Structure 1
Amino acid sequence: MAISIITKEDLQQFKIELLEGIKDLLQARTTEQKLWLRTSEVRKLLNISSGTLQNLRINGTLSCRKIGGMLYYNYKDIEKLLTDIKK
């Protein structure tokens, strides 16, 4: 069993590649994407837990609208969040 050492630079490069991949996926879906997404759709899209999504709401990183007891997120805000993370 070989041991591989992962450096901070390796992790940074992985992060950049991952975010670019997510951005490419989002751009490909823009034409067919809904403008407003429900909580479950955002969690699935970003592959995050409900707690992480709640933290994004609480600290103001991702805004939402409450309509009829349901939370909705603007797709453009999600794209902006991913773009800001990359920078």
Structure 2
Amino acid sequence: MDKPKNLYLVSGPSGCKLHIWATSGDQAKRAYCREYEIKASDYWCGVRSLTARKLKPEEVKAWEEQAATERATYIFIRGMLEISAKAYAERGRT
């Protein structure tokens, strides 16, 4: 039987934060390392230097409510950057 997954807020030493669904804090830290391509065994940047906090149910609900808005904002900004990069590349050719 699978363990239920909880939402963790994992913070790195640089201040970068990431929300991760995992069954334990250690698993969340390892997922953070995979996401940012950090070696999990690294003393300064790996699992040992990370903190993982399990979010309370009301925090999870608030995060889920704003996740769609953040995703839409990300898609908009990415699209605008692609348009700008394309325009810059075309201007450089002429």
The two structures share one fold, judged by TM-score above 0.5: no
Question: Highest CA radius of gyration, 1 or 2?
Answer: 2
Name the one with the larger strand percent.
2
After TM superposition, the score normalised by the length of structure 1 is 0.29
Larger RCO: 1 or 2 (CA < 8 Å, sep 6+)? 1
Name the one with the larger helix percent.
1
